[in-house]
A and B are shown apart, each in its own frame.
Chain A
Amino acid sequence: MMTYISCFFLGGFILSMVAVACNPSPFYGSFGLVAVAGFGCAVVVGSGGTFLALILVMIYVGAMLVVFVYSAALAADRYPESWGSGGVAGQAMGYLLGVMVASGFFWKEEYGVLWGFGGSVEELAPQRGDIGGVSWMYSLGGPLLVISAGALLLTLFVVFEVTRLLHRGAFR
């Protein structure tokens, strides 16, 4: 039963990415990316990483995709293309065909689908599974966090310079 559920989420992951790859308009692409994130979250939960799945949903869908949707509203068509226009349906069929051919070569049934609880221990430890792993980032990976914060600050200045916000503000 769990194998069926895991295979359903894996299949949904791939099919939603087919929808993202051949999107007719960024609106539909963003919606497809939300679906990919949801199925990916379910796949990670099925392997025991509940904290990582929560982080994925909150930060990816809740923050980054919201920014993407705002940008899609900024640079939007008045009449966006839909799924039937152009060669979009043909492209989607082509991608699906490619995925099916590849899965015929690579998807071996004898391996099955692994599912379980990450870092299963016999007794209840204070740190179980992925929460214990993520906390390493704060203890031993402290310098790495400082360097990453410096990189994020640098990205802020890159964005300021690309959009010329510091020099001229929002005026054209």
Chain B
Amino acid sequence: MTPPHFAFSATFILALTGLVFHRTHLLSALLCLEGMMLSLFVALSLWALQLDITSFLASPLLLLAFSACEASTGLALLAATARTHGSDRLQSLNLLQC
């Protein structure tokens, strides 16, 4: 694959791995989710720019708008967690003790 294709694919998989293996903070997982959306933005932009399909250049903007929605929902969950459990550390989310 071409280097830019490899770059955003590797970035997406790295951010996905960081999301899966986050250790202490919930906010670290949200940051990795934002990294995934950023790599998708770069992927859509490069796809539309390098193939000269100008009508697909609106899709990165819409992706960015919905990524902002997702980030705000994630941060609202973080704020709710920090309110009830005191912090966003994952050790305190132990209601379902298994």
A interface, CB within 8 angstroms of B: 6-7, 10-11, 13-14, 17-18, 20-23, 25-26, 29-30, 33, 36-37, 40, 43-44, 47-49, 52, 55-56, 59-60, 63-65, 67-68, 71-72, 74-75, 81, 86, 91, 95, 99, 102-103, 106-108, 111-114, 116, 118-119, 129-130, 132-134, 136-137, 141, 144, 148, 151-152, 155, 158-159, 162-164, 172
Contact partners of A102 in chain B: CB under 8 A: 6, 10
Q: Is the CB of B80 within 8 A of A71?
A: no
Q: What are the residues of chain A within 8 A of B60 when measuring CB–CB?
A: 52, 55-56
Distance between Cα atoms of A64 and B68 in the complex (Å): 7
A30 partner residues in chain B, CB cutoff 8 A? 31
A60 contact from B27, B58, B64, B78, Cβ within 8 A: B64
Contacts of A59 in B (CB 8 A): 64, 68
Given known contacts A22-B18, A47-B49, A52-B57, A60 and B79 CB-to-CB distance under 8 angstroms: no
Least Cβ–Cβ distance between B30 and chain A, in angstroms: 7
Which residue of B50, B54, B58, B72 is within 8 Å of A114 (Cβ)? B50
